[in-house]
Amino acid sequence: MDVHSNPYLSIVIPIYNEQENIPSLWERLSKVMAESFTDPDKSWEIVFTDDGSRDRSLAMLVEIAKAEPRVKVVEFNRNYGQHSAIFGAFAEARGQIVVTMDADLQNPPEEIPKLVAKVEEGYDAVGGWRQGRQNNDSFFRTMPSKIVNAITRRTTGVQMHDYGCMLRAYSRDVVNAMLLCKERSSFIPALANSFAKRIAEVPVAHAERAAGESKYGLWKLINLQFDLLTSFSLLPLQALSVFGVITAAFGFLLFLGLVVYRFMHPEGTAQGVFTLFAILFFFVGCQFIAFGLLGEYIGRIYQEVRDRPRYMVKKVHQGK
């Protein structure tokens, strides 16, 4: 039997146009694996997903896989996004412990043994918590991340400092549970936490993106936030009705106030008209927010109902 058929540890890395980073990523990662996981009981594999890269990334990964039998490359037929890419790799990963990381070396591969040790202690999901966060990323990249973290903490009810850090380790049970989730839009760290019994955070170093640029703009981040909000809680829907009750009460009180004012100052009609306009605009605004949120849910229901596959694998490259 092939010794590597059931490795102890799987490292999962999504790749989208990372040709500048792959050489140093591979150099540092293979060094860490060779030095830290020498124990024959701790065999390992690395599963890359090529998420429809348009540069030389795929060719480079296939080269690596040819030279190193412990490397698998899942080739997607097009770009499906980071989290789908991670899922694609999860489906191929066989390790008892699965570690996810980004390709851009913002999460140093040297931290992997720390995370693995924490899972060995009995934790199901171990998150990296970025220390001294380096950011040459723009204001538009850091500010939304902070908001994402804050809202995620609230909606998922799990107090984690850093949801954005993708250097994470999971037990086999949690990965299996995640693989059973068929929903399209999912945010892996939050999903994992919903299945994990014991959750831990480990401080990890954080560097600037080694090369290339962030694949996330403001728009992708907003989308991710909506995914989070709608796939993990009904809070927005519930907040809507509370908000509705409050605004209705407020409107009624204001109406009473206006009636009283009208009796006291019969000459002040023009002012009243303007006040009504202000109130009207306020309500129209509220309605649009409500429609928007409903639309988000309906859109997502529509996507789930269509039940399209989350991604299509073109080929899995392994060995020669």
Is 95 within 8 Å of 7 (Cβ atoms)? Answer: yes
Q: Left if phi > 0, otherwise alpha if psi is -120 to 50, otherwise beta: which for 102?
A: beta
Q: Find the binder of ligand UDP among 10, 16, 71, 174 (CB under 6 A).
A: 16
Contacts of 102 (CB under 8 A, 6+ apart): 13, 14, 166, 167
**By CB under 6 A, is residue 14 in contact with ligand UDP?**
yes
Instruction: Kindly identify the residues of this chain, within the stretch 99-118, that bind Mg ion according to CB under 5 A.
Output: 102, 104, 106
Cβ 136 to ligand UDP shortest distance, Å: 11
15 binds ligand UDP (CB under 6 A): yes
Asked if residue 318 binds ligand UDP (CB under 6 A), the reply is: no
Cβ count near 284 (within 10 Å): 9
Burial class of residue 100 (count of CB atoms within 10 Å of its CB; 0-12, 13-18, 19+):
buried
Q: Judged by CB, which is closer to ligand UDP: 48, or 195?
A: 48
Measure the CA dihedral 208/151/100/77, to 10°: -90
Of the pair 212, 272, the CB lying nearest Mg ion is at: 212
Of the candidate spans 99-107, 274-282, 289-297, 306-314, the one that interacts with ligand UDP by CB under 6 A turns out to be 99-107
**Site stretch for ligand UDP (CB under 6 A), options 96-104, 108-116, 271-279, 290-298:** 96-104
Dihedral angle computed from the Cα positions of residues 196, 150, 107 and 220, in that order, rounded to the nearest 10 degrees: 100
Binding mask 182-221 for ligand UDP (x = CB under 6 A): --------------------------------xxx-----
Q: Which residues here bind ligand UDP, judged by CB under 6 A? A: 14-16, 18, 51, 79, 81-82, 85, 102-104, 106, 214-216
